[in-house]
């Protein structure tokens, strides 16, 4: 029979082993969650580089595409950057910027909106353009929302059980907003974002998505103004409401790179910068001149063949 000190020692050792095993399991669970969110090692990545340097914010192409859609819908409504930041931080907390088909009770989509709470049908809410539009519609009804703390503004729309949780996403949401609105040029780039399955792209689909997310005014009405020559869609850049022409150009170019994998985009050019799927790891590269003679004030989006 073991003496009391010996039995106590055995119990301590077993307890230590149990805690060690639990720590390993928790670490593995955390690792799996991270891999699920980011896509795992070697998966395509999008990064936003802070102005002036610093630690970049990283997200998957899926998350980047959803964020770009949220920003574009805000632009279509002539909303300020603060509205986009609030919307992005909310979607980061509610869904991790993923358009998920499940949630608490009947919540679905990017903002975890509920059909039973008059946000629309589940099918409508699963449409990122519709969901973002509904969020902004409710946000615009909050008096002085742009001057409120982000947690307060988001909570007045969402009515979450954990309103303070939005605060932890504010810095990354603001960084992402700067890139997606074009205020910080060439800040977002997607690496290893090859066109899916080597399938051909479709400029008509790119045009349709641009119009649906930014509104019809994003493309001039005349066929001569917006050219689709073969695989390249050329969009002349003009100033928008409260947005200078150069910022508007980067807004459109950044939208395109965020959707590059989804829309099978091979090359994007604006100003003196170019992004290509083939050399996506190098980000936006400076170019000098263009032998094809297309104006540098145009955003050119070329799909895969």
pLDDT of residue 123: 98
pLDDT digits (tens, 9 = 90+) for 229-239: 579 999 999 99
- pLDDT confidence of residue 280: 94
Q: Please provide the average confidence, as pLDDT, over all residues in the chain.
A: 86
pLDDT at position 305, please? 84
**Strand segments (E) across the chain:** 45-48, 57-59, 188-191, 227-229, 232-236, 265-270, 273-276, 285-286, 298-303
Cα–Cα distance for residue pair 64/38, rounded to 1 Å: 11
Task: Give the predicted TM-score (pTM) of the model.
Answer: 0.83
State pLDDT tens for residues 9-26: 656 656 656 555 454 455
What's the confidence (pLDDT) of residue 52? 85
Residue carrying structure tokens 């094809």: 292
Identify the pLDDT of residue 300: 96
Given this model, what pLDDT does residue 3 score? 53
Nearest to 169 by CA among 242, 245, 227, 92: 92
CA torsion sign for 98, 44, 81, 167 is positive
Write down the pLDDT at residue 5: 53
pLDDT lower than 50: segments of the chain: 2, 21, 23-24, 27-40, 193, 222-225, 291
Query: CB under 8 Å to 124, separation ≥6 — which residues?
Result: 130, 131
- Candidates 67, 78, 71, 81; CA nearest to 217 is 78
User: How many residues belong to the chain?
Assistant: 305
**Per-residue pLDDT at 222:** 47
Helix residue ranges, H only, 141-190: 150-158, 170-180
């Amino acid at each position: 029979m073991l003496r009391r000190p010996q039995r106590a020692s055995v119990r301590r050792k077993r307890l230590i082993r149990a805690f060690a095993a639990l720590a390993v399991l928790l670490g593995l669970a955390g690792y799996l969650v991270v891999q699920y969110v980011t896509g795992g090692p070697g998966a395509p990545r999008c990064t936003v580089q802070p102005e002036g340097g610093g630690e970049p914010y990283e997200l998957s192409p899926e998350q980047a595409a959803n964020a770009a859609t949220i920003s574009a819908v805000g632009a279509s409504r002539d909303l300020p950057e603060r509205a986009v930041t609030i919307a992005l931080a909310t979607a980061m907390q509610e869904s991790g910027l993923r358009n998920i088909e499940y949630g608490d009770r009947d919540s679905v989509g990017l903002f975890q909106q509920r059909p039973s709470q008059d946000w629309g049908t589940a099918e409508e809410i699963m449409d990122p353009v519709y969901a973002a539009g509904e969020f902004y519609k409710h946000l615009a009804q909050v008096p002085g929302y742009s001057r409120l703390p982000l947690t307060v503004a988001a909570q007045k729309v969402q009515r979450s059980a954990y309103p303070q949780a939005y605060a932890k996403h504010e810095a990354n949401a603001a960084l992402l907003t700067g890139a997606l609105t074009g205020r910080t040029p060439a800040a977002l780039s997607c690496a290893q974002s090859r066109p899916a399955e080597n399938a051909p792209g479709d400029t008509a689909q790119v045009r349709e998505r641009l119009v649906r997310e930014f509104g019809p005014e994003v493309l001039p009405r005349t066929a001569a103004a917006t050219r689709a020559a073969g695989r390249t869609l050329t969009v002349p850049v003009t100033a928008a409401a409260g947005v200078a022409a150069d910022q508007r150009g980067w807004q459109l170019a950044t939208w395109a790179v965020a959707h590059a994998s989804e829309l099978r985009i091979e090359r994007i050019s604006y100003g003196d910068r170019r992004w290509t799927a083939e050399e996506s790891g190098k980000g936006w590269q400076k170019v000098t001149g263009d032998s094809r003679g297309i104006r540098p004030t145009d955003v050119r989006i070329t799909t895969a063949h």
